[in-house]
Amino acid sequence: MTSTALDTRIALASAPGAEWWRSAVIYQIYPRSFADANGDGLGDLRGITSHLEDLKTLGVDAVWLSPFMTSPQKDAGYDVTDYCDVDPIFGTLADFDDMLAAAHERGIRVIVDLVPNHSSDQHVWFREALAAAPGSVARGRYLFREGKGEHGELPPNNWESVFGGPAWTRVREADGEPGQWYLHLFDSSQPDFDWTNPEVRAEFRRILRFWLDRGVDGFRVDVAHGLMKKPGLPDYFPDADGGSMGGDAADVPYWGQPAVHDIYREWHEVLAEYDGDRALCAEAWLPSIEQTALWVRPDEMNQAFNFAYLETKWDAAALRAVIDASLAAYAAVGAPSTWVLSNHDVVRHASRLALTAENPQGTGIGPNSPGKPIPEVGLRRARAATALMLGLPGSAYLYQGEELGLPEVINIPDDARQDPTWFRTDHERYGRDGCRVPIPWVADAPAYGFNDTGATWLPQPAEWADLARDVEAADEASTLSMYTTLLDERRERRLGAGSLEWLDSPAGVVAFRNGSVTVLANIGERPVAVPGGRLITSSGSLVDGLVPVDTTVWVETD
């Protein structure tokens, strides 16, 4: 694309009343697995900078970077020790500034990940808290409590960690005796902050300003639904074992507490101090779309991930229902809906959509998992699902590697796995490593071009040579070519800012119009007719002039 066309694109997206994030396609970069400039096996910021041109060619509007701040990496960077610096494994603040400038030069906006629910246990505040006495100011920044039982030997309540095991860990006090307990909804190395403490709130306003001053376009807010806990920290008895990031059940005393909205109203005001459209996107796994939409009221966040959409089965009726419910719930609060199919916490959709057994979020797939997907079925469905998603109005999130059709990596050796879930469940849940394997750029190169040394923090499967970007870029029928076409057509036709009109369709078919484009996804059992008009693109080949099963077409209609 010429730079003039790019300028036009930015100008359009930034026109008054049409903030860029309302219709943007936002590409998630998981820095440790994107590209590795220094060859140590972990991706880095300079690696990202070196591939921004590829993302421009792909046609995304923005990138979201998973955490690259200083961290002991116990949870792949979601355990931060210094929120205002770059971890040396990823580079330096200067590398960040270079990356940001290079992205902006190309018309790509940059969102960074903020982790406010918890810090690392190596954070200076937590180290101070451990060294301080019960009841001290330092302990008051986290959730320390006395234990139950005669000698405080039982945890303060029965909450369980998202990663498995108890959500409390007991500390040793200065006299060497077992003492108070601290809360960690995730790993024991991730103590939860006490967000009723004004000092915590002030610190995060400072952190927001630090990155806004550097020029970032917004924040993806980690565990945005978890910051406030129900007063008194009551026991919780879940009905069933739902997905691990929370939110299938109402009334969970640590998810979605009403008081959390005040925090984001404060943050909204901080962002409003800055020019341009800076955006906040909530990672909030909540029980209903209506509840999630409350997070994007006009004075709070701008977006929330649509996990209800991500979790919807490959089923026409279910997809129609979730799309309807999303459009209605977000319209009611004046926000666009978002759409997402993959991220670094879920089984990649090229595998997930062909699973034949239940697989709650966080379980992952490994050699002993039931219902493993047939790869060809998964890829066909993934391409059809993406073509359906990118036809919808609103903002869409992509996860690095999905544009190559990467599947979940199933055969990671046990001793290479790194997700805390794997360890905290005694290897019962494989966890999320399978969607985090470094992505392939060049078929015939060390580590498939991830770096030039061949080192990778998780092993890459041999089959990925065929899925490398250079191979796919040269193949018009590849998944990469399909994504590039879809993004180009979506942008040209302004589908993100469009609206949806359902079309009558048989069971098993999802069909709608968005502007001049008819999108039809065949999720049924037999081929169906192509809608009248000019075929723009198809997620798979037509057969005898019909749309085969697990295929989506875009057709131009007048």
Residue pair 344/220 in contact by the 8 Å Cβ criterion: no
Beta carbon nearer to ligand NOJ, 29 or 387: 29
- Work out how close the CB of 344 gets to ligand NOJ at its nearest, in angstroms, rounded to a whole number: 6
Q: Give the number of other Cβ atoms within 10 Å of residue 187's Cβ.
A: 24
Beta carbon nearer to ligand NOJ, 45 or 223: 223
Catalytic residue among 36, 222, 345, 550: 222
Residue pair 267/280 in contact by the 8 Å Cβ criterion: yes
One-letter identity of residue 20: W
- Work out how close the CB of 439 gets to ligand NOJ at its nearest, in angstroms, rounded to a whole number: 17
Buried b (16+ CB within 10 A) or exposed e, 199-212: ebbebbeebbeebb
Eight-class DSSP state of 357? S
- Work out how close the CB of 157 gets to ligand NOJ at its nearest, in angstroms, rounded to a whole number: 20
Residue keyed to tokens 């001053």: 213
Q: Give the number of other Cβ atoms within 10 Å of residue 52's Cβ.
A: 19
How many angstroms separate the CA atoms of 490 and 517, rounded?
9
Contacts (Cβ under 8 Å, ≥6 apart) of 265: 299, 300
- Work out how close the CB of 163 gets to ligand NOJ at its nearest, in angstroms, rounded to a whole number: 8
Beta carbon nearer to ligand NOJ, 227 or 294: 227
Beta carbon nearer to ligand NOJ, 49 or 400: 400
Q: Does the annotation mark 222 as catalytic?
A: yes
Catalytic residue among 277, 283, 300, 433: 283
Radius of gyration (C-alpha) of the chain in whole angstroms:
23
Q: HEC states along 478-507?
A: CHHHHHHHHHHHHHHCCHHHCCCEECCCCC
- Work out how close the CB of 419 gets to ligand NOJ at its nearest, in angstroms, rounded to a whole number: 8
Q: Give the number of other Cβ atoms within 10 Å of residue 106's Cβ.
A: 15
- Work out how close the CB of 361 gets to ligand NOJ at its nearest, in angstroms, rounded to a whole number: 10
How many angstroms separate the CA atoms of 243 and 240, rounded?
10
Residue pair 285/245 in contact by the 8 Å Cβ criterion: yes
Beta carbon nearer to ligand NOJ, 186 or 330: 186
Strands 82-86 and 517-522: unpaired
> In the bound complex, which residue of the shown chain has the CB atom lying closest to ligand NOJ?
78
Beta carbon nearer to ligand NOJ, 77 or 548: 77
Q: Which residues bind ligand NOJ (CB under 6 A)?
A: 75, 78, 115, 186, 222-223, 283, 344-345
Positions marked active-site: 222, 283
